[in-house]
Amino acid sequence: MAGLLAGVMLLVIGLARLGRFIAFIPSPVITGFTSGIALIIFIGQIDNLLGIKTPGTEAALFKFTGYFKGGYTPDLHTLILGLVVIMTMVFWPKKWSARFPSSLLGIILATALNALLKWPVAVIGEIPRSLLLADRLTVANIPWSNMTEFLAPAFTITALGAVESLLSGAVAANMTGIRMQANQELIAQGIGNIVIPFFGGVPATAAIARASVGIKSGGQTRMVSFIHAIGILVSMVLLSGVIAKVPLAALAGVLMVTAWRMNEWEGIRFMFRRHFKTATITFLITMLATITLDLTQAILIGAGLSALIFLNKISGISIDVQQVDPEKLRTRGIENLDSCDHVRVAFLTGPLFFAATGHFHEAFDNLGDTHALILSMRGVPMIDTSGLESLKQLSERMHKRNAVVMFAGVHENVMQMMRRGNLIDDIGEQNFFWSSDQAIVAAQTHQCAYCD
C-alpha cells in the first residue's frame, strides 16, 4: 500500500514538473553519492566473492570494518570463480565487449567451470516462474480504514525513489552527454510503482548500477530498457534451470567490476588534482554519509553542505565607496561641476540578500559629512526582502541627516523587487538614474546643509 501511494506521489511530482529541482544538486554531491553507491555494491558482494557469511549491519561502512576483525576463512573455489569473472571483464577488449558483453562471457565461463569441476559453491538456486506472486495487493484488500498509517512510509519511499532515480538519470546523462528528461522519468516511475504492488512487487527506482552496465555495454537508446526487461522475462521462463546453477561468486565479480567502473573517475581526479577544497570536502562527506547513513540522508547532507558553502561564497558582496573625482568626469565630457566634495559613490558587486546585509551595514557606518550617497548597483543581480530592508534603513538614516540616497544602474529584476517593497515610492523616482555620472550631476544640485 505504501508503494502504491508513493507511485501516486511520484506521478503528481512529475506532472507538476518539479523534476527540474534535480539541477539544484551540485556535481560533487552527485559524484559522492555515486561513489557511495559503488562502495555499497562492492562491500555487499565481498561475502559472495569469498564464500563466507558475516553478520548483517545497518550500514555498509560497519559491514566493511567487520572484515578486519578476522575469524573468516575464504573458500578457495568460490574465490577462483569470482576472479575468473573479474579477470574476464578487465582484460576483454572494449571493442569486443560492444558485440558480446564481457560480464556475460565471464558468467558463462564461471558457470561452465563450476559445472565441469562440480565444486560445492553457493549458486543462485531456484527462481520463481510467475509474474503474479501470492502476496500481492488487490482492490479487495486495500486497507481504506487505516490509510493514514501508510502516509509516512510512502513519503519516505517517494523521496528516496525520486532522488535515486533522478540521480541515476544525472549519472547516465554525464556518461552519455544526453540530457535527462527529469519529469518524464518521474511520471514513468510513478506509473510503474502504481502497477507493481498488484503483482506483488516492491517499490522500484532507476538503478545507477543497471544504467551503468547498459551504457558501458554499448546501449544508446531507450530500447535498452525494453530489451533488458524482455531478456529477464525470457530467461525466467526458459532458462531458469541454467540460471539456478550460476555461482553467486560470478555475480559478485560482475557487480564489483561494475561498481569500480561506475565511479566518475575523471571528475574525481579533476577535483583532487586541481585542489578544489570545497568540492573535495563535499564529495567525501556525501560519500561517507552514503555508506554510513541511508541514501536520503546522504543526499540531504551533501546538498545542505553545498548550500551552506555556496551561501558563504556569494555572501561576500563587494562595496567600494569612493569620493567623486571631477577630473575623471571631465575626461568623460561632464563639465561645470562644483567643488562640493560631499558626494560619495558606492560601487556594489554581488547579490544583496540576507547573508550580505551585515557587510552592507558595516560599509556605510562611517559616511562622515556625505550629503548625497550614490549606490551604483549595476553589479547587483538580485535582492531579497532582507536587502530591501537594509536599503530602506540606509535611506532613513540619510534622510534624518537631511541627506539623500541615489541609485544608478539598477537591474530590472531588482527594480521590480523594490517596487513590490514600495521602496521606489519612499525614495522617489527622481533619485533613480541610468548611470552614476547622471546621479553625480543631479547630486550637485541637491540642496542641503552641507553644501557651500
Q: Is the pLDDT of residue 4 over 70?
A: yes
**CA–CA separation, 259 and 384 (whole Å):** 44
pLDDT value of position 117? 94
Residue with cell 547516465: 172
Q: Is the pLDDT of residue 447 over 60?
A: no
**Angle between helix 182-195 and helix 2-15 axes, rounded to 10 deg:** 150
pLDDT value of position 256? 95
Residue 261 CA: distances (Å) to CA of 7, 208, 287, 290: 31, 11, 16, 18
Residue 359 CA: distances (Å) to CA of 228, 352, 362, 365, 390: 57, 10, 5, 10, 11
Q: Which of the pair, 319 or 315, is modelled with greater confidence? A: 319
What does the pLDDT average to over 198-218? Answer: 82
Q: Is the pLDDT of residue 250 over 80?
A: yes
Max CA pair span of the chain: 106
Which helix (H) or strand (E) segment is 320 a member of? strand 318-323
Q: Is the pLDDT of residue 299 over 80?
A: no
**Given CA atoms 361, 364, 368, 371 in this order, what sign does their dihedral have?**
negative
**CA–CA separation, 146 and 255 (whole Å):** 40
The model's confidence at residue 450, banded by pLDDT at 50, 70 and 90, is: very low
**Given CA atoms 81, 84, 90, 92 in this order, what sign does their dihedral have?**
negative
**CA–CA separation, 287 and 302 (whole Å):** 9
**Angle between helix 208-216 and helix 27-44 axes, rounded to 10 deg:** 90
Q: Is the pLDDT of residue 452 over 70?
A: no
Of these ranges, 114-123, 124-133, 160-169, 311-320, the one predicted with the greatest mean pLDDT is: 114-123
State which amino acid sits at residue 204: A
pLDDT in tens, 145-196: 888 888 888 887 887 788 778 878 877 887 788 888 889 989 999 999 999 9
pLDDT in tens, 59-118: 899 999 989 887 889 999 999 999 999 999 999 998 887 778 899 999 999 999 999 999
pLDDT value of position 384? 92
pLDDT in tens, 321-367: 988 777 677 776 666 555 556 888 999 999 998 888 888 989 898 88
The model's confidence at residue 23, banded by pLDDT at 50, 70 and 90, is: low
pLDDT in tens, 365-413: 888 778 889 999 999 999 999 999 999 999 999 988 888 999 999 999 9
Q: Is the pLDDT of residue 48 over 90?
A: yes
Whole-number percent of the chain with pLDDT over 70? 92
Q: Are 37 and 211 in contact (CB under 8 A)?
A: no
**CA–CA separation, 182 and 167 (whole Å):** 10
pLDDT value of position 340? 57
Domains of the chain plus CATH, in order, are 2-312 (no CATH), 318-444 (3.30.750.24)
When mean pLDDT is compared across 156-160, 202-206, 282-286, the lowest value belongs to 156-160
Residue with cell 558480446: 100
From the list 266, 260, 261, 267, the residue with the least C-alpha distance to 283 is 267
Q: Is the pLDDT of residue 235 over 90?
A: no
From the list 208, 202, 246, 210, the residue with the least C-alpha distance to 228 is 210
The mean predicted confidence, pLDDT, of the chain is: 86
